[in-house]
Amino acid sequence: MVLGKEQRVIVPIIKVVGDFCNLRCSYCFYHGQDQSSLHVMDDKLLGNFLNQYMTLFTGKLTFIWHGGEPLLAGLPFFEKIVLLQNQFHREHQKIRNLIQTNGTLINKDWALFFKAHNFRVGISLDGNRKSHNRFRMNETGAGSFDQVIRGIGILREYGLEPGFIQTVTSDNIDNVEEDFNFFANDLKIKKWGINVYCNSDGDNKAMLNQDVSNTEFTWYLKEYIKLWLDKDSEKLLIREIDNFFTGALKKKPSSCSFNGSCVYHFCLDYDGKIYPCDRSSNHPDLLLGDLSKQTLLEVLTGSKRVEYINNVTQLPSNCLDCKWKAVCNNGCSMLRVGGITGKDYYCETRKAIFEYVEKLIQKYINLAERQGGEKHERIECH
């Protein structure tokens, strides 16, 4: 079922400038695409999309503005977005805007805009200077660390605290402690997520031998959990740790790559083409439709999307008797071996970390009970 009774909002990820970017990060999904040509979504398409989307959906609407580097669309473009959202706003709609940026172009004007319109900002930062500059470079090959740190400083100057995404590769995996300390102690970041590099297609020649193996990623996450426990802060949120703990507690994890909400997203590219996700936006075989030729409703209810949903949600046979099935959902569809119907590349890691975390929780419960502390009667472990 594509749009059943339980269906509410399908979240759009909008690539306002296509693949265009001022950086040339070696591991980028769009590495090998044309990242040098400026394409900005035209006003007509933007207005058409927002009008249709805000007519189709009601309630709490999330817009994820993405790239390439979305700030390259320019501030007037984003001012137009806010204007159009206000124009098409209907009763009972609440809007939240999220933007993911590399942070290098942030200045006072952007900070004031984000503040004024309550945009939540996500920044890509791989860790300390050494880890970040390894693969996040500009066109001349120079690392972007200083520019990003400068951008973060400007946001904070205006009272904005961004979230962060760190990408882990084989080359920076040994820098785990330094990177954790950099985030938690030096930058005093309260929340970040970990993306892991895996190019199962092997089509990115700039990242040969950079895939993180299951053994490496399992080790890495365990190290992270130990560092997180050592830090011992109730307020420190690391997306992956949060997902594993929540899942081990038989609660619904928050991330799309754990909770099965992957199919409730779509990606609108600058030219009107619609894909399931920004990660799949350069995969012609996963193209769902084209807003310049079809209505949004036609695309979202179309046969291509039905086929995609069926393929993504049909779990491989080895998932069926896995105790973590309901809190794993076979991971990110773009990290599956052999395509979206395959098994999650990090299946082994996920099982190992769920088991590890489950034992930690049990240890905590036992200790709390022994100490006569707060009872956690509602906590149930697998």
Closer Cβ to another protein, 218 or 259, answer by number: 259
Closer Cβ to another protein, 140 or 374, answer by number: 374
Site for another protein in 127-186 (CB under 8 A): 163-165
CB of 285 to another protein, least distance (A): 21
CB of 167 to another protein, least distance (A): 10
What SS3 state is found at 237? strand
Interface with another protein (CB under 8 A), residue from 185, 367, 369, 375: 367
- Residue 24 binds another protein (CB under 8 A): no
- Residue 23 binds another protein (CB under 8 A): no
CA distance 53 to 296: 7
Interface with another protein (CB under 8 A), residue from 43, 139, 186, 230: 230
CA distance 286 to 296: 16
CA distance 20 to 371: 57
Question: Of 9, 7, 5, 13, which is closest to residue 275 (Cα–Cα)?
Answer: 13
CB of 88 to another protein, least distance (A): 16
Q: What are the beta bridge partners of residue 167?
A: 195
Closer Cβ to another protein, 59 or 141, answer by number: 59
**How many alpha carbons lie under 13 Å from residue 71 in its C-beta half-sphere?**
21
Q: Which two tokens stand for residue 158?
A: 């205006």
Q: Which two tokens stand for residue 188?
A: 């005093």
CA distance 158 to 119: 13
CB of 8 to another protein, least distance (A): 5
Interface with another protein (CB under 8 A), residue from 22, 85, 104, 124: 124
CB of 105 to another protein, least distance (A): 16
CA distance 100 to 29: 14
Q: What are the beta bridge partners of residue 192?
A: 164, 238
**Contact predicate 77/68, CB 8 Å:** no
CB of 239 to another protein, least distance (A): 5
**How many alpha carbons lie under 13 Å from residue 270 in its C-beta half-sphere?**
20
Closer Cβ to another protein, 130 or 325, answer by number: 325
Q: How far is CA 222 from CA 116, 176, 207, 240, 336, in A?
A: 40, 10, 25, 11, 22
Residue count at the site for another protein (CB under 8 A)? 83
Binding mask 1-20 for another protein (x = CB under 8 A): xxxxxxxxxxx-x-------
Site for another protein in 330-349 (CB under 8 A): 332
CB of 82 to another protein, least distance (A): 17
Site for another protein in 177-206 (CB under 8 A): 191, 193, 195
Q: From the centroid of its chain, how far is CA 376?
A: 32
Binding mask 286-325 for another protein (x = CB under 8 A): ---------------x----x-------------------
- Residue 75 binds another protein (CB under 8 A): no
Cβ burial 170-188 (10 Å sphere, 16+ → b, else e): bbbbebbebbbebbbeebe
Binding range to another protein, per CB under 8 A, among 71-79, 90-98, 152-160, 176-184: 90-98
Work out the angle between the directed axes of helices 214-231 and 347-370 (0-180°, nearest 10).
30
Binding range to another protein, per CB under 8 A, among 145-153, 168-176, 255-263, 282-290: 255-263
- Residue 247 binds another protein (CB under 8 A): yes
Binding mask 29-68 for another protein (x = CB under 8 A): ---------------------------xxxxx-x-x-x--
- Residue 122 binds another protein (CB under 8 A): yes
Closer Cβ to another protein, 35 or 281, answer by number: 281
The amino acid at residue 345 is Y
CA distance 189 to 71: 23
Q: Any residues with CB less than 8 A from the CB of 44 and at least 6 apart, and which?
A: none
